[in-house]
Amino acid sequence: MLFSKMSEVEVLVCQSIKNYASEASFETKPFRLHKLESGPSTQVSVTKEDALKYYKQLHTIRRMETAAGNLYKEKIVRGFCHLYSGQEACAVGMTAALRPQDSVITAYRAHGWTYLMGVTPLGVLAELTGRQSGNARGKGGSMHMYARNFYGGNGIVGAQVPLGAGIAFAQKYQNTGGVCLALYGDGAANQGQIFEVYNMSKLWDVPCIFICENNGYGMGTSAERASASTEYYTRGDYVPGIWVDGMDVLAVREATRFAIEHCTSGKGPLVMETFTYRYSGHSMSDPGTSYRTRDEIQEVRQTRDPLTSFKERILNANLVTADELKSIEAAIRKEIDDAVKIAKSDKEIDLHELTTDIYALNIDKEIRNTTPFKPLPASNLGPAINV
């Protein structure tokens, strides 16, 4: 009776809507556990709204990193540049589980994290090119990007891990109820300072999630050649651990939710390993093909890619339409293209602004210059960091 009052087009639209779900469930790879009696469920669900959100975030990071790589090749980005392409599901899955009181600190592969923690793609790309629209007004570059509750990408290998433990200690001391995610790579996993903070964090039961993003290679050395044990989630010994497929955004989300619940229940820290892969070299100076084959990279792209696999899942589950995803992709393409244009053409800051934002309150009248003989006048009146 209802259809008899509708036009033929309206009937088709209603039938089309009826065929699409508002929520879908999927099976993840099994989680591996260390010193844990139980782990997250391998049956995960996602709403249409969240699926579109995650896809937008995954696709934005991929396109933003591609743009960053191209800017580097054009010699517009100078210095260091470490791309996150291939590892997007790790950051997107973790941020999906974060609460307002939680914090993050990571290593130098931080562009995607910076975007997810609240900085626009323009803020990221303009920072890479040293322009005033950048997240730190162009003064910091690739390894100096920050946002609320995001303590940046540390340039010293492994040094962000004890800093993350300190952030978590502060959260416990101040009783905020928050946790800190301290991320590091498989190459940094053999650093002595990491084992020191495992000990301290467990002694004090600080709410820190130590996350090893195992992308298979530390600089140019495979994990198998660098580590006597590649089961990084067990490295905490007396600290519980969990292994998760880092190419599955929903699996990472569930593992992070589980880890946050573990830490906030008073059980102390947890080690999480995300098994992932990086498509680019360690940095832009590394072609990434001298220690692995192009066939290996291509196989991962075809079988485990976090974007295409998630896209296929939500399409096959009738959770989204192909047109919806195309619309998202077109909007992202325009946003990144526009950001690239500004990142190329925007001005650099004036000389007097170089000495701002160094201290919250600077009591010195001068700041050391490139040499100690011609100091710069100090200033406390600079603009705030762009977020």
Fold for domain 23-349?
Rossmann fold (3.40.50)
In whole angstroms, what is the distance from residue 305 CA to residue 317 CA? Answer: 18
pLDDT in tens, 256-272: 999 999 999 999 999 99
Angstrom distances, CA of residue 71 to CA of 77, 101, 168, 286, 338? 6, 35, 36, 16, 14
User: Residue 147 carries which DSSP code?
Assistant: B
Q: What pLDDT does 180 receive?
A: 98
Whether 277 and 216 have beta carbons less than 8 Å apart is answered as yes
Where does the pLDDT of residue 379 fall: very low under 50, low under 70, confident under 90, or very high at 90 and above? confident
Single pTM value for the model: 0.91
User: Residue 385 carries which DSSP code?
Assistant: P
Whether 180 and 102 have beta carbons less than 8 Å apart is answered as yes
Where does the pLDDT of residue 360 fall: very low under 50, low under 70, confident under 90, or very high at 90 and above? confident
In whole angstroms, what is the distance from residue 333 CA to residue 328 CA? Answer: 9
Q: Which of 89-103, 167-181, 362-376 has the lowest mean pLDDT?
A: 362-376
| Number of CB atoms found within 10 A of residue 213's CB | 26
* Residue 165: burial class (beta carbons within 10 Å; 0-12, 13-18, 19+): buried
Q: Order of strands, edge to edge, in the sheet holding 180-185?
A: 32-34, 241-245, 270-275, 208-214, 180-185, 103-106, 150-153
pLDDT in tens, 343-352: 999 999 998 8
- Residue 9 scores a pLDDT above 50: no
Q: What is the maximal distance between C-alpha atoms in the chain? A: 88
pLDDT in tens, 109-132: 999 999 999 999 999 999 999 999
What are the structural domain ranges in the chain?
A: 23-349, 350-386
**What contacts 24+ positions apart, CB below 8 Å, involve 53-57?**
54/92, 54/93, 54/96, 54/249, 54/310, 55/307, 55/310, 55/311, 55/314, 55/320, 55/325, 55/328, 56/328, 56/332, 57/88, 57/92, 57/95, 57/115, 57/116
Q: In which residue are the tokens 């088709």 written?
A: 12
